[in-house]
Amino acid sequence: MDIEKTYMDLTKNLKASTILKNEAMSKHTSFKIGGSADILVKAKAIQDIKTILQYCKIENIPLYVMGNGSNVLVKDKGIRGIVLIIDINDINIEEKEEEKVKVTVGAGVKLGKLAGELLKRSIRWI
Strands (E), the chain: 18-24, 36-43, 63-66, 79-86, 91-95, 101-105
Q: How do the pLDDT tens digits run along the chain, 126 residues long?
A: 899 999 999 999 998 999 999 999 999 999 999 999 999 999 999 999 999 999 999 999 999 999 888 889 999 999 999 999 999 999 999 987 777 888 999 988 998 999 999 999 888 776
Q: Read off the pTM.
A: 0.84
- Residue 37: Cβ within 10 Å count: 25
State whether residue 19 is helix, strand or coil: strand
